[in-house]
Amino acid sequence: MAARFSPPSIYRPPAASLRFVPVYLRNLLVWRKLATASLLGNVADPLITLVAFGYGMGQLLREVQGVPYIVFLAGGAVCMSTAMAASFEALYSAFSRMHVQRTWESILNAPLELDDVIVAEWLWAATKSAFSGVAILLVIFALGVSREPTLLLVVPLILLAGLTFSAIGLCFNALARGYDFFTYYFTLVLTPMTFLSGVYYPVDRFPDWLAAIAAFLPLTAAVELVRPLVLGRLPEHVWPQLALLFGYAAAAFWTALVLTRRRFVA
Amino acid sequence: MSDSPSVPGVPGVSDDVVLRVDGLIKAFGGVRAVDGVSFCVRRGECFGLLGPNGAGKSTTLKLMLGLVAPESGSVELLGHRVPEEALSARRKVGVVPQADALDPDFTVGENLRVFGRYFGLPRAEVEQRMESLLEFAGLAQRRDARIHELSGGMKRRLTLARALVNDPEVLFLDEPTTGLDPQARHLIWDRLRRLLARGKTIVLTTHFMEEAERLCGRLAILDHGRLIAQDSPRGLIAKEIEPQVVEASADSVDAWARRVLELQAARRVEIVGDTAFAYCDDSRQAVALAEAWPGMRYLQRSANLEDVFLKLTGRELRD
């Protein structure tokens, strides 16, 4: 009678199911309660960056690549703000729910699987980062930094970038033992990436080796796609950049699944 | 000690087995946390898993719910093989985890509503059930309260109400009254008895003998991942231990203990510090000896579950 049961491999593909929906709605409901404060933060932070940097630096640098500095900065700011918001949600907030509040634990006592929770957290972090990215896009429009119709094409790119950075964040979440760990991610990964990805300045004058690294960063791909659209042009190398972002999103999400399953099996 | 799960004639308990655990083995890093555990739980009974810290109670609970997979052995819960069909089984099960893990961002009512969604329950059904659940938990006036405004007992009762949101057939509780004061503890016990009266099956882990003795029709004692005894509380006391105990303390308690054994006034004596526990079929002679012993304080009582537990699992500290 005692049967040997071989547990499913932690490397299996994600469970395809709509069971994640109530978990996603749970996060949305919490956000709605705190929406005002949250949105204010979403707008205030990039607004300050854009205005302070854009106008401040704009005094020194009249034009970058033929446009006023604030216009150059706007596309980068959209991407950076999306990446930051996704990372915060997938690191600090998801970690609170996973480890501190044990929300995941009670969810897993219901008829749901860990995969459902991870899918929900991934889509939720991407959603929240999209709120941020779209908020800064509205600021750009409201300030008149750009009013190009191509701005609309930025919205799906924000979503894609949000999915990418949320998935990367969830990998680090799965490895974290405490909040301190996330400081490393921000100072050693995300901050250097913003400087290498052309958020603040053009990176076409980097030495070759640095340019090679920069070319493979997901934030670079996002900036290369978004900046021309803010300037009213279509980006030049659309497919390679899109492929890079999709590739990062898929690989990071699968890695996050594997790492989180491993964490919960032990 | 018995491996065959025989149920004594407990009223209200049917022959219908709702949970069958057979030969479960689970190791973490080479150490077997659960080592060949087998038992059955029948519909309507309250079954207790008793054991010191680290005995494997919580791991056994996770295995029963399909939250971890065993190395070998099988679990069948409400007709579903676990972990393969754990989702179908968990649909009909409620769980009260050790840490309440309530959602601090939500009110009392929202906690129930959001949890109901995880079961795919229609909103109207949850709303309808909410009132009676809050009533049951003694939280009817607290529907809109935030979690941090609740006392420990209230939180535990809300966790219990949350576990009932899907009207489960079997309720699992992991140390349901740990950390609660006596008033709160009695209230939880009362609610659990009510659930048993309604025909629910309860499986709980505990290290409180009092809790096990009061609630459980049947108990399994776990130690080092192994199931070392299984019976009703009274059956365990009758089978495993002498009926009477004399607890005696004095500086010279060792000499007293030797004398008691010489005279065969007790079957066994255990000494902890300057207190001796003399286990007797008839305590009169041991009491007389203690009475006459200079400077001796003593207490004569019937053997209880704690004596059984300490005999079977030993007296050394478990951290």
ipTM: 0.89
pLDDT at B235: 94
**CA separation for the pair A171, A91 (Å, rounded):** 9
pLDDT at B100: 87
pLDDT at B3: 41
pLDDT at A51: 82
**CA separation for the pair A194, A132 (Å, rounded):** 17
DSSP E strand boundaries for B131-183: 170-174
Poorest-confidence range of A7-21, A149-163, B136-150? A7-21
**CB distance A33–B105 less than 8 Å?**
yes
Q: How many angstroms separate the first and last alpha carbons of chain A?
A: 26
Q: Which of A32, A109, A262 to mutate to test the interface with B (most CBs of B within 10 A)?
A: A109
Nearest residue in A to B111, CA atom: A26
| A113 in reach of chain B (CB within 8 A) | yes
**CA separation for the pair B124, B105 (Å, rounded):** 22
Mean pLDDT of A107-115: 96
| A42, HSE (Cβ side, Cα atoms, 13 Å) | 27
Report yes or no: B199 and B171 within 8 Å, Cβ to Cβ.
no
**CB distance A5–B97 less than 8 Å?**
no
**CA separation for the pair A117, A24 (Å, rounded):** 8
Contacts (Cβ under 8 Å, ≥6 apart) of B97: A102, A105, A106, A109, B159, B174
Minimal Cα–Cα distance from B40 to chain A, Å? 14
Q: Which of B28, B110, B114, B203 to mutate to test the interface with A (most CBs of A within 10 A)?
A: B114
Distances (CA, A) of A78 to A54, A64, A136, B221: 13, 17, 6, 60
Query: 10 Å Cβ neighbour count for A46?
Result: 25
Minimal Cα–Cα distance from A22 to chain B, Å? 6
- B40-55 core/surface letters (b: 16 or more CB in 10 A; e: else): bbbbbbbbbbbbbeeb
Distances (CA, A) of A156 to A31, A117, A222, B193: 22, 24, 11, 56
Q: Which tens digit of pLDDT belongs to each residue from B184-239?
A: 999 999 999 999 999 999 999 998 888 999 999 999 999 999 999 999 999 999 99
Task: Give the closest residue to A83 by CA, choosing from A196, A180, A183, A223.
Answer: A223
**CA separation for the pair A256, A168 (Å, rounded):** 7
Report yes or no: A151 and A141 within 8 Å, Cβ to Cβ.
yes
Q: Which of A106, A117, A260, A261 to mutate to test the interface with B (most CBs of B within 10 A)?
A: A106
**CB distance A26–B120 less than 8 Å?**
no
Q: Which tens digit of pLDDT belongs to each residue from B248-293?
A: 999 989 999 999 999 999 999 999 888 999 999 999 999 999 999 9
**CA separation for the pair B76, B119 (Å, rounded):** 20
Nearest residue in B to A2, CA atom: B73
How far out from the chain centre does Cα A83 lie? 3
Q: Which of A2, A34, A103 sits opposite B103 (nearest CB)?
A: A103
Nearest residue in B to A100, CA atom: B101
| Four-residue CA torsion sign, B223, B65, B100, B174 | negative
Residue B8 pLDDT exceeds 60:
no
| A101 in reach of chain B (CB within 8 A) | yes
**CB distance A2–B22 less than 8 Å?**
yes
Q: Which of B28, B67, B104 sits opposite A108 (nearest CB)?
A: B67
Average pLDDT score over chain A: 92
Distances (CA, A) of A263 to A64, A72, A176, A258, B305: 47, 43, 10, 9, 38
Relative to beta strand B297-302, strand B226-231 is: unpaired
Mean pLDDT of B119-142: 95
SS3 content of chain B, % helix, strand, coil (to 5): 35, 30, 35
Q: Which of A29, A108, A109 sits opposite B114 (nearest CB)?
A: A29
Task: Give the closest residue to A84 by CA, choosing from A53, A49, A119, A52.
Answer: A49
Residues of A in contact with B163 (CB under 8 A): 109
Residues of A in contact with B73 (CB under 8 A): 2-3
Residues of A in contact with B99 (CB under 8 A): 102, 105
| A28 in reach of chain B (CB within 8 A) | no
Percentage of chain B beyond pLDDT 90 is 83
| A5 in reach of chain B (CB within 8 A) | yes
**CA separation for the pair A19, A108 (Å, rounded):** 12
Task: Give the closest residue to A222 by CA, choosing from A46, A81, A79, A64.
Answer: A79
**CA separation for the pair A77, B239 (Å, rounded):** 75
Q: Which of B31, B87, B147, B162 to mutate to test the interface with A (most CBs of A within 10 A)?
A: B87
For residue B74, what are the β-bridge partners? B22
Residues of A in contact with B110 (CB under 8 A): 29
For residue B26, what are the β-bridge partners? B34
Compute φ and ψ for B145, nearest 5 degrees.
-75, 150
Residue A116 pLDDT exceeds 70:
yes
**CB distance A111–B110 less than 8 Å?**
no
More confident of the two residues A246 and A266: A246
Identify the band that residue B13 occupies on the pLDDT scale cut at 50, 70 and 90. low
pLDDT at A245: 98
Distances (CA, A) of A101 to A134, B78, B115: 30, 30, 15
**CA separation for the pair B78, B98 (Å, rounded):** 23
Mean pLDDT of A117-122: 98
Contacts (Cβ under 8 Å, ≥6 apart) of A207: none
Nearest residue in B to A109, CA atom: B95
